[in-house]
Amino acid sequence: MSHARFDRRELWSLVVLIAAVGQATSHADDPRPKVTSPRATSGDTAIEPNWDERVTISVGNTEGDLIGSTEKVLQAAVDSVARLGGGTVKVLPGTYRLRNSVYLASKVRIVGSGAESVLIKEPSAKTKLAADSDWYDQEVTLEDAKAFRVGDGVVIRCKNPHNGGPTVLKRTLVARTGNRFKLDRALRENVWSAGEPTIATSFPLISGEFLSDCAIENITLDGNKEKNDHFDGNYSGCIFLQDCNRITMRGVEARNNNGDGISWQICHDVVVENCHSHDNADLGLHPGSGSQRPLIRGNRIERCGIGIFFCWGVKYGLAEKNVIEGIRTAGISIGHRDTDNLVRDNVIRDSGVAGVLFRPERGPSFAGHRNRIERNEIVNSGGDEGVGIDIQGGTESIELIDNRVIEKRGASKRVGIKLGTDTKNIRLNNNETDGFAVPASVVDLRKEQATDK
């Protein structure tokens, strides 16, 4: 068995990954004295003492500092902890029925009691809008408002009246008179009847935007898929994050959502560890556009549309020791400018189309280059023409090392490793393929590439 040495690029990727899990790197060229005895100083957000205790507020159905069973009591706890500079919201055993998101705040941990702390989304309602609203308006008029309440989280969807593209706006209903509702924020888009606008009580169960240094741990989130409108992972999920930094999700069960399990967009140094995302309509874990240095480790992902979906421009990430089973399409999907990621030591079983898929995208400049796929076990991928590892389009400089790609159902027309005609510099080293009609369908291999057994 051969092992490749790390080159400079790989070494830098490793350094970045270490930083992502919170280990500080030293700067030898900084002559300033090191801070050895930090103090709390007004406005200094870079250096903070490691306090032994911060505020904790408990929430429960029948006991705790705050008592209730809706998002309102959970939100009150988050806001109270945030006002005191950060700390922990402890969610006691019970069922909490949500008509709006629980909105995170910086430096706040939400810690549940595992399977005994369940946040479940109430059934969604949907109706048409009955009147035009302009971009500066902060209200909408509903055609049928009987299922809507003040405090509801909603999504407004329509066609943009100027270019025909989709408009998607997430808001909260804060006041009403009859069928007219005031929104928490102005529309900032024209919502006109020509665009066939609708409004629905759809939202992430836990949501965070433009914040940092948060954690969600040991809690169960149920999207109530059968009774809710579909809401895709660019805007929602059991957990949805947008423009955040240093968020940790650990021990979370994200299930049964009519959309994604966990989605984060333009979020950096996100850690998803030992979570269970299952039976969601779309993506199990969705490191979204522009997200840098995600760490995805030790999770179980089952019966989702895609297991782990690297979206646009996801870079310097690590996905390791995850178990991905029963996915309807690809266990792991990598594409649009998703470069310099490491995918290793995962088990991917019973994927509907492919175990690992590199998407073709719009040409070589858009493809996911310089990714390393190492020591994964990929079993029973796709139907009669399924592929274990499928590298499509103009994808370049991919390393496949020490992977086991196995087919136990019979060879049929299945392929172990498949490289498209426009791929380049695909390095294969010491991979094992077994049980396939075609162990490796390799087109246009360069002389420096090894031949797998």
Q: Indicate whether 309 pLDDT > 80.
A: yes
* Tokens (6 digits) for 202: 């759809």
Query: What percent of the chain shows pLDDT beyond 70?
Result: 91
Q: Indicate whether 5 pLDDT > 80.
A: no
CB 202 within 8 A of CB 231: yes
pLDDT single digits (tens) 137-190: 999 999 999 999 999 999 999 999 888 899 999 999 999 999 999 999 999 999
Q: Are strands 283-287 and 262-265 parallel, antiparallel or unpaired?
A: parallel
Integer Cα distance of 201 and 147 in angstroms: 9
What dotted CATH number matches 126-200? 2.40.30
Mean pLDDT of the chain: 92
Reported as a pLDDT band with limits 50, 70 and 90, residue 47 is confident
pLDDT single digits (tens) 335-370: 999 999 999 999 999 999 999 999 999 999 999 999
**Predicted pLDDT of residue 59:** 98
Integer Cα distance of 36 and 49 in angstroms: 10
Three-point CA angle 290, 292, 294, nearest 5°: 120
Q: Which amino acid, 154?
A: V
**Predicted pLDDT of residue 193:** 94
pLDDT single digits (tens) 408-452: 999 999 999 999 999 999 999 999 999 998 887 654 333 334 444
Q: Is the dihedral of CA 68, 71, 75, 77 positive or negative?
A: positive
Integer Cα distance of 196 and 131 in angstroms: 11
CB 350 within 8 A of CB 378: no
Ramachandran bin of 290, using left for φ above 0, alpha for ψ from -120 to 50, beta for the remaining angles: left
pLDDT single digits (tens) 179-236: 999 999 999 999 999 999 999 999 999 999 999 999 999 999 999 999 999 999 999 9
Q: Is the dihedral of CA 24, 30, 34, 40 positive or negative?
A: negative
Query: What percent of the chain shows pLDDT beyond 90?
Result: 86
Q: Do domains 55-121+203-441 and 126-200 have the same CATH topology?
A: no
CB 334 within 8 A of CB 310: yes
- Rounded to an integer, the average pLDDT of 395-400 is 98
**Predicted pLDDT of residue 16:** 42
CATH number assigned to the domain with residue range 55-121+203-441, chosen from the 4 options 2.160.20.10, 3.55.50.30, 3.90.320.10, 1.20.1260.10 = 2.160.20.10
Integer Cα distance of 138 and 171 in angstroms: 10
Integer Cα distance of 95 and 112 in angstroms: 11
Comparing 43-52, 63-72, 277-286, 444-453, the range with the smallest average pLDDT is: 444-453
> Which residue has 């300033």 as its token pair?
32
Q: Indicate whether 239 pLDDT > 70.
A: yes
* Tokens (6 digits) for 205: 């169960």
- Rounded to an integer, the average pLDDT of 3-20 is 41
pLDDT single digits (tens) 98-132: 999 999 999 999 999 999 999 999 999 999 999 99
Written in H, E and C, the secondary structure of the chain is CCCCCCCHHHHHHHHHHHHHCCCCCCCCCCCCCCCCCCCCCCCCCCCCCCCCCCEEEEEECCCCCEECCEHHHHHHHHHHHHHCCCEEEEECCEEEEECCCEECCCCEEEEEEEEEEEEEECCCCEEEECCCECCCCCEEEECCCCCCCCCCEEEEEEECCCCCCEEEEEEEEEEEECCEEEECCCCCCCECHHHCCEEECCCCCEEEECCEEEEEEEEEEECCHHHCCCCCCCCCCCEEEECCEEEEEECCEEECCCCCCEEEECCECCEEECCEEECCCCEEEEECCCCECCEEECCEEECCCEEEECCCCCECCEEECCEEECCCCEEEEECCCCCCCEEECCEEECCCCEEEEECCCCCHHHCCCCCEEECCEEECCCCCCCEEEEECCCCECCEEECCEEECCCCCCCCEEEEECCCCECCEEECCEEECCCEEEECCCCCCCCCCCC
Domain boundaries, the chain: 55-121+203-441, 126-200
Integer Cα distance of 199 and 285 in angstroms: 27
